[in-house]
């Protein structure tokens, strides 16, 4: 397979895999299975995380057997010395928003991204409890499907056309984020969990998503492609594109913006 020339059909296949993983996670959501264990970083791990992870590993292995996979549930097992030479790999979060899953508010997603030379070029985000799925590939646009319907192309919104809408994390508030929101002044603030926050910017239901808090690379990669192909951008607080496959897989603070970009840069000084 020449990935560069086959991104469109590959994206469609990956969207199907993400949806299948979402079904696997929903089986445990419906049964209200509890937390299996707490990981070293104190984050919870459920049967749904493991079911989604195992399905994705199997399906991607069948689809692209020569492309390595880095998943949140296998990240600790793959040393940087091994993965630093990967020019192409899959970056996976089998269940983004485990805390939302446990709270049973439906705001969790399955995220699968194809990485090329440190940048995401294809992404699928599935929100099974909400009946929404998103996918995008470099140069091909961003698409959303609702209730299993046909994918429809989506675009970011222009903040100048209406009152500024800012999306913030439901489970991860920080003093720095509060400071930034105070500086923004008059705006509507909506909350959401998981990568759905980035999807809100991509589909135009929010204009800005400031992430002034802790995230990992697998939390953002798939959603970043969708935002960018919808016409938005995802950068660190200095305006640089997020880097991937770093020795530390932790992301810097970042900002997700529609088009045109809201002038946020001067508001993050000192944060």
| pLDDT tens, position by position, 75-107 | 778 999 999 999 999 999 999 998 888 888 999
How far apart CA 151 and CA 144 sit, in angstroms, is 5
Go through the domains of the chain in sequence order and give each one's CATH number. 3-153 (3.30.540.10), 159-267 (3.40.190.80)
Burial class of 155 by CB neighbour count within 10 A (0 to 12, 13 to 18, 19+)? middle
pLDDT at 1: 43
Say what the pLDDT of residue 42 is: 57
**Which regions in the chain score pLDDT beneath 70?**
1-5, 33-43, 170-172
Query: 9 burial class (0-12, 13-18, 19+ CB within 10 angstroms)?
Result: exposed
CA angle in degrees (0–180, nearest 5) for 138-193-93 = 50
Query: Residue 261: helix, strand or coil by DSSP?
Result: coil
Instruction: Label the pairing between strands 44-46 and 233-236.
Output: unpaired
Contact 233, 240 (CB under 8 A): no
Query: Can you give the pLDDT at residue 116?
Result: 97
**Per-residue model confidence (pLDDT) at position 98:** 85
Residue 114 tokens, joined: 């194809």
- With tokens 């996918």, the residue in question is 135
> What's the pLDDT tens digit per position in 134-147?
999 999 999 999 99
What's the pLDDT score for residue 58?
A: 98
| pLDDT at residue 34, as a whole number | 61
Say what the pTM is: 0.93
Bridge partners (DSSP) of residue 111 are 93, 125
Phi and psi of 112, rounded to 5°? -135, 125
The pLDDT, as a whole number, for residue 39 is: 66
pLDDT at 30: 87
């Amino acid at each position: 397979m020449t990935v560069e020339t086959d991104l469109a059909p590959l994206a469609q296949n990956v969207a199907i895999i993400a949806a299948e993983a979402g079904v696997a996670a929903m089986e445990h959501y419906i049964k209200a299975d509890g937390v299996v264990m707490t990981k070293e970083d104190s984050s919870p791990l459920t049967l749904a995380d493991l079911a989604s992870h195992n399905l994705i590993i199997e399906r991607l292995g069948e689809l692209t057997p020569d492309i390595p996979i880095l998943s949140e549930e296998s990240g600790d097992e793959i040393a940087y010395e091994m993965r630093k030479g990967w020019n192409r790999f899959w970056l996976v979060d089998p269940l983004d928003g485990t805390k939302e899953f446990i709270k049973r508010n439906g705001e969790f997603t399955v995220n699968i991204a194809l990485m090329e030379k440190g940048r995401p070029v294809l992404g699928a985000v599935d929100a099974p409890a909400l009946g929404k799925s998103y996918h995008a590939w470099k140069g091909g646009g961003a698409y959303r499907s609702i209730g299993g319907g046909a994918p429809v192309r989506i675009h970011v919104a222009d903040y100048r056309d209406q009152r500024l809408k800012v999306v913030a994390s439901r489970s991860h508030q920080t003093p720095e984020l509060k400071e930034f929101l105070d500086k923004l002044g008059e705006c509507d603030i909506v909350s959401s969990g998981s990568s759905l926050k980035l999807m809100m910017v991509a589909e135009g239901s929010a204009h800005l998503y400031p992430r002034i808090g802790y995230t990992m690379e697998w939390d953002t990669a798939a959603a970043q492609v969708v935002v960018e192909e919808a016409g938005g951008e995802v950068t660190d607080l200095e305006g640089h594109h997020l880097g991937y496959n770093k020795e530390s897989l932790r992301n810097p603070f970042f900002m997700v913006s529609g088009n045109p970009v809201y002038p946020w840069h001067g508001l993050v000084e000192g944060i």
